[in-house]
Structure formats: structure tokens, C-alpha cells
Amino acid sequence: MNTIEYIGPHPKKPTRKPWGGGWLMVLLVVAVVSTLAWPHISNALAKNNAPNELIVEETVAWLGQKSNFGNQLAAAALERTNVNITYDPAYYQISYPTGDIPEGKGVCTDVIIRSYRSLGINLQRLVHEDMKENFRIYPQLWNLKDTDSNIDHRRVPNLQRYLSRHGKEIPLVDTAEQRADDFDYGDVVAWRLAHGATHIGIVVPGPGNRKGEKWIVHNNGSGPQWDDKLLEYQIIGHYRFSGVARDIEEIISQ
């Protein structure tokens, strides 16, 4: 009798279990997904933790514990972040000496102008009077033959020249040596942005438990913002100016 060969499933060789029971692959997948998703996650966290009106009020109150002018100007700048402003670089005809462009409009210089004005210091008038007497020493960048009280004070180079003449201009250091500790609250800082435009803002404390840090209030296209960007741009001017504070009603009456 011939032996009948059994035909059935082929015996399987024992398989080697993945190292770590497959957890290594899971961890790698999680790491890759986390890396790709992190920018979106961080943006969401930043949005949720962005300085809000309550934090602004708390920081303004903290600045008020010292009555020096720098703290007052920093507080005034922080309060600008609660105002809804649409970035608008258009030329406006405004009154003099206490004119202002439409309330919901503004650029970086308007943060400076409105912050000082809230303390009784009218940069429109101060810059205009100084330019009227010293027109040729101001930047000749706009092919003008005389002053223009509608716009002169709203131009960064003009503000730089005025602040350097009537305030304290802090000497600049090499970019590699710049430190936030060299700036005080209420300092006015001018930058050159990557695309070549000039920009300006005011030094303020950081929010919450970061009060010891030096942040800025500026308008770089999204309205007055409270940002940790003091050393992010190329600094081209650093000033301290307390002005001659006068009551707004006194100015209006003249």
C-alpha cells in the first residue's frame, strides 16, 4: 500500500515580534505628527494666551506703582492695545494744533503720537514748530519745500530727528551686543524692517509673570500689538523723551 502524502497548510515559521512590541513605530509616528502639527498648536496656544484687556489693566496698575515718566508712557502705550485700529497709511488732512486722523485708523507713528498725547504732550505741534525753525536739518526724503502739519509728525525719520534733538538719544551697540536690559519702560525705539521700511514703537513690560522682560507696543500692520519683538528687528534709534507736559485744554485754548 502506497503511502499517501498529507497535503495541508504549510507549517509557518515562528515570526519575530517587533522590538518593543511595536511601540517604537507608534512613537515615531507620534513624533512626526507632533512636529508637523506644532506650528498650528503653538499658534492656537499663543492666541488663547495672548495678552487681554484684563492683563493690560493689571500691568498698567503695576507700572503705576512708580510714577516716573517712562512708566506712565509705557502704561499709555499698553492702553492703546485695547483700541481697535485698522492699519491705514493714507494721507489725511487734519486740524492743527490738536488734529488726529480718524479714530479707528493708524500706523506705527500714531501709537507714539496718541500715547504721548494722552499724557498732555502734543507731538504734532512740537514737531511742526521745530521743523518750521529748522526745516533743513530734518530728513529731506519727500521732495517738500516746507513743513506739512498734517503728516510731518507721522513720519518715523522726522520723529527720530525730533527725539534726538529734544530728548536723550541712547548710543546704539552692535546687534550681537544688544541686550533688553539696556532699555527702560517708556523708551521709544526705531527699527528698520527686513523689507527696508522704518518702524517705531514703545518699550513696555511683558505680560503676567513676564513683567521683568522688555516687550514693545507697536503697529506693524495689525493695529497696536503687545509683542516680544524688541530685538527682533534692526534697531536704528533709541530715545527717551519726557517732553513738556501741558494740559490738553490749555493747548486747545490757544
Residue 151 has pLDDT above 70, yes or no: yes
Residues 150 and 93 sit within 8 Å (Cβ to Cβ): yes
Residues 113 and 123 sit within 8 Å (Cβ to Cβ): yes
Q: What is the DSSP string of 90-123?
A: ------TTT----TTEE-HHHHHHHHHHTTT--H
- How many secondary structure helices (H) and strands (E) does the chain include? 7, 8
Q: How confident is the model at residue 220 (pLDDT cuts 50, 70, 90)?
A: very high
Element (H, E) at 156: helix 156-166
What grid cell was written down for 142? 519727500
Mean pLDDT of the chain: 86
Which stretches does DSSP call E strand in 63-211? 86-87, 105-106, 168-169, 188-192, 198-205
pLDDT tens digit sequence for 36-80: 544 444 344 344 446 789 999 999 999 999 999 999 999 999 999
Per-residue pLDDT at 16: 59
Per-residue pLDDT at 39: 44
Closest CA to 96 of 119, 122, 135: 122
